[in-house]
Amino acid sequence: MATRASKFGRRKFLKGAAASAGLFTIVPPHVLGGPRHVPPSEMLGGALIGCGGRGPGTYKEMTKDLQVELRAQCDVKFRDKADNKMFYTDFRRVLERKDIDLVAIGTPPHWHALISIAAAEAGKDVLCEKPMTRFIAEGRAVVETFRRYKRIFQIGTFGRFGVSKQRNNIDTHKIMRSGLVKDNPGVYVKSGGLKVKEWSGRIDLAPQTPPASLDWDLYVGPSPWKPYVTRRHGGTHRGYWDYEGGGLADMAQHTLDPFQWIYGKDDTSPVEIEAFAPPAHPEVTGMWAWIEMKYADGFTLVLESGEWGTPYERKKARPVTLAGLDEETRAKVQALPDPEPLVTFAEAVKTRKQPGGNAEAAHRCATLLHLANIAIRTGRKIKYDPVKEEIVGDEFANRLVNVPMRAPWHL
């Protein structure tokens, strides 16, 4: 068999001979590129891990403004169709492939962190479905891994890209990032749209036999082992703490991702969190009325379910605006440069700049969801250190910050 060097030499010789004889060398159009063809050097290899529910939509978003060829699909329900070429049940086999550049993750959240970390270690860029993680410590592990391996991570929400172009939001962002407002009385309330009842869990189901096509052990993965019941798999997995955090974890990252940017909180977290909710079940999610989260600067974020209990007693204070500042402070804020435009996932892949919903921003946003659920599950106000990323003076609550994983899985 000819070596790569000898093949190249023969091609070079034949090309020269053809040119000297006045002949044309025919090159396939997909090699040169053109209106309908992308050169192989510009075509990226894509993979989707987690093919149900939001998976296909997440993959579509990942490929926007990029030339991507789908080369692998992976899902634990593919046991009866895996062929080791296109379909896989084990994500690790996908990440071993050198022809995969981009990975869309659409699995339930208890797998988001481990697959994202493994993808970064394998040299892949990642677009991950929300919520970013199942518990707080996972998020910090993802951030550090993507920083270490210099890969691109984007959370699949995209809400901040629209709000960041609006003048009033730009001004609010500048006020909050300036540090000129020392004791911010502002209150932001998000009410409804969190699917609290819809994604509440059920505990009255008898164990069942998993479908033959489903690798149940791999589905459970790092979460505690539990017998198969239909509601633990598919969209209803959201009702179990083992895999997600109810409707709050499912929906709130959409709302809070743009909130994080507008109010300049992409690099910090609340310091006090309180929830009004009935006693929580240790295994399944349930109802709640509201969660109040206060930052060190006094600014308060409130999530209100609108589905149970006494509504939040709304304070009159509203977020600070330019018009509400004194003349001197307003002038200082207006003199500050506008923030740089947010980088999309496609731009990040091409330029290697970090995208808008990057790992740090996505982690801080997911932390809001987890802190809210910890307050619900403990039934008491908690204090949080946003630098150390741990709950202060509450050992039980702090265990929910870094939840043990089922062997052999670990961060």
Q: Is 102 helix (H, G, I), strand (E, B) or coil?
A: strand
Averages of pLDDT over each 10 residues, the chain, 411 residues:
35 39 39 51 93 95 98 96 89 97 98 98 98 98 98 95 96 95 89 96 94 97 97 96 98 95 97 98 97 96 96 81 93 97 98 97 98 98 98 97 98 95
pLDDT of residue 317: 73
Structural element, H or E, at residue 302: strand 300-304
pLDDT of residue 20: 38
What residue spans of 194-262 are helical by DSSP H? 216-220, 246-262
* DSSP string computed for 312-365: P---S-----GGGS-HHHHHHHHHSPPPPPPPPHHHHHHH-PPPTT-HHHHHHH
pLDDT of residue 34: 46
pLDDT of residue 39: 64
* DSSP string computed for 49-109: E--STTHHHHHHHHHTTS-EEEEEEE-TT-TTT--SSSEES-HHHHHT-TT--EEEE-S-G
pLDDT of residue 315: 72
What pTM was estimated for this model as a whole? 0.89
Q: Is 411 helix (H, G, I), strand (E, B) or coil?
A: coil
pLDDT of residue 38: 56
CA pseudo-torsion sign 339, 344, 350, 352: positive
- Where in 110-234 does DSSP place strands (E)? 125-128, 153-155, 187-191
Neighbouring residues of 324: CB distance < 8 A, sequence distance ≥ 6: none
The fold adopted by the segment(s) 13-158 is Rossmann fold (3.40.50)
Tell me whether domains 13-158 and 160-340+356-399 share a fold: no
The residue type found at 229 is V
Q: Is 163 helix (H, G, I), strand (E, B) or coil?
A: helix
Q: Does domain 160-340+356-399 bear CATH number 3.30.360? A: yes
- Where in 91-221 does DSSP place strands (E)? 102-105, 125-128, 153-155, 187-191
Structural element, H or E, at residue 11: helix 4-20
Residue boundaries of the structural domains of the chain = 13-158, 160-340+356-399
pLDDT of residue 40: 64
Alpha-carbon 163 to chain mean position? 18
The terminus-to-terminus CA distance of the chain in angstroms comes to 45
Phi/psi for 180 (5° steps) reads: -80, -20
Contact 88, 73 (CB under 8 A): yes
Indicate the DSSP class of residue 236: G
Please give the Cα distance from 338 to 325 (Å, whole number). 18
pLDDT of residue 14: 36
Neighbouring residues of 1: CB distance < 8 A, sequence distance ≥ 6: none
CA pseudo-torsion sign 320, 324, 326, 330: positive
